[in-house]
Structure 1
Amino acid sequence: MSKKKSSAKKAAHAEHRALAPLVALRDSRAVKALEPLAKASDEPPLMLLALGTLAAGTLLRRPTMIRTGARMVASHLVATGAKTLLKAAVDRTRPHAAGDRPSVKKGTGTKDKSKNAFPSGHTAGAVAVAQAVAHEVPGAAPAARALAGTAGALQVPRGAHYLSDVIAGAAVGWLSERIAGVALKAADRGRMRLLDRRAEEEAAAHPS
């Protein structure tokens, strides 16, 4: 076994032992009571929220809501793509399924959900959407980030993820929102250039 693999294995075991007391709370009343929030950060609910915001903004003709919804959708899509690639690259047994044999190794393309703990997709999506809201509606930033942080943190006592999975997921979500923001700005600039070009063509075709 190479030194790199040995170090990864030792780190995985150390984190598994350190988080065992938290994972033991999986069936506690407190964790069960907050579980709906953790599940709300799954892909379908988050995308529904993002699309709902975009649709509501369009129907109500509210530019800020439209921009927020569009940024939420784009950020979530990028985060979903990024976490999917990472999960394929790393096989890591989830805490609740690891028993006394935590495992982390190079991805094998397995479809076994008990072995794709890294990174936390729930956290990636929640952070991406929360950051999108924060950028477009600064007043809602504290609440959005608090909800995303709580949803991510809950993944540990639920036994779904290790802390390092959650941290990696948060990083993926944050970076995804930044990438989506840059892409949206570029698209908006392109749209404005197209409108200006059409206006110039219209003016040339119908001079006053």
Structure 2
Amino acid sequence: MSTPKTSKHKAAKPRDAKPKAKAKDGAVKKAASKIAKVDREVTHTMAQGRDTPLMKAVAFLSEAADQPPLIAASLGTFAIGLATRRADLARGGARMLLSHLLATAAKNAIKHRIDRTRPAAALEQGHGKFEPGHTHDHDENSFPSGHTAGAVAVALAASHDIEGAALPAALATAGVAAAQAPTGHHYLTDVIVGGAIGWAVESVVSNVFDRFEPKVEAAIRETAS
């Protein structure tokens, strides 16, 4: 009885995926480090004139995108809509308020998990940090930009319902976003992420809002009557 022949070729061993994963992870970290370095250098250069009268005036005006003014604008729009029986204003004010509140909540969820020194403080101290953390120190809560998140969310919400609001809202939002780095309040990536938060939140709110729009309009008309 003949014995079965054994194959001369050994079974190929499965390739270890760990070196590739490590290499990919290292490449991502290296790219992120480069982006952070460029972001830091460009923003610090832009913020050199933050103490000039012009930049102080710009910083003051950009506070129009802080939480209280945006909430007041949203509530005021809603109230005027009810008082004048203009469904577009009432609907727009309601959409603005909900978008702003949710954008603020999303922004805070990130801020309370990441510590980043604001550009002005980093320049004064000569150093800064950007790492996971839970500080409530204003100078260490740069990431992301809440002003930009709120302004984008409210501007997009207003443009959905209120005729003629799109262009002024877009210009005002662009001004708020553009002011953050030169005034030393935020890094450029803070602004980009803040804008993305505002856009994403408002998109979700509007998708849900539009589904219930007939019921909302009926409620508004009933309240106004």
Tell me if both proteins adopt one fold, taking TM over 0.5 as the criterion: yes
8 Å Cα contact 2:58-2:183 kept in structure 1: no
Superposed counterparts of 1:1-208, under 5 Å? 3=26, 8-99=32-123, 100-106=126-132, 108-188=133-213
2-structure distance, mates of 1:191, 1:41: 27
The structure number with the bigger radius of gyration is: 2
In structure 1, runs of 5+ residues without a counterpart are 195-208
Following TM superposition, by how much is the alpha carbon of 1:5 offset from its aligned partner in structure 2, in angstroms? Answer: 5.6
Report the residue type matching 1:94 in the other structure: R
Following TM superposition, by how much is the alpha carbon of 1:9 offset from its aligned partner in structure 2, in angstroms? Answer: 4.6
Q: What is the TM-score normalised by the length of structure 2? A: 0.78
Q: Give the root-mean-square deviation of aligned CA atoms.
A: 2.2
8 Å Cα contact 1:92-1:118 kept in structure 2: yes
Q: Report sequence identity in percent.
A: 41
Report the residue type matching 1:80 in the other structure: T
Report the residue type matching 1:27 in the other structure: D
The 3-state SS of whatever aligns with 2:49 is coil
8 Å Cα contact 1:12-1:102 kept in structure 2: no
2-structure distance, mates of 1:189, 1:8: 46
Q: What is the TM-score normalised by the length of structure 1? A: 0.83
2-structure distance, mates of 1:157, 1:163: 10
Q: Deviations over 1:133-180 (max 9, x none)?
A: 111124221111110110111011110100111011111111111111
The 3-state SS of whatever aligns with 1:157 is coil
Number of residue pairs matched?
A: 192
Following TM superposition, by how much is the alpha carbon of 1:183 offset from its aligned partner in structure 2, in angstroms? Answer: 2.1
Following TM superposition, by how much is the alpha carbon of 1:93 offset from its aligned partner in structure 2, in angstroms? Answer: 1.0
Q: Deviations over 1:173-195 (max 9, x none)?
A: 1111111112212333566999x
In structure 2, runs of 5+ residues without a counterpart are 1-24, 220-225
Following TM superposition, by how much is the alpha carbon of 1:126 offset from its aligned partner in structure 2, in angstroms? Answer: 0.5
Following TM superposition, by how much is the alpha carbon of 1:114 offset from its aligned partner in structure 2, in angstroms? Answer: 1.2
Q: Deviations over 1:12-48 (max 9, x none)?
A: 3332222222101111222222223211100111001
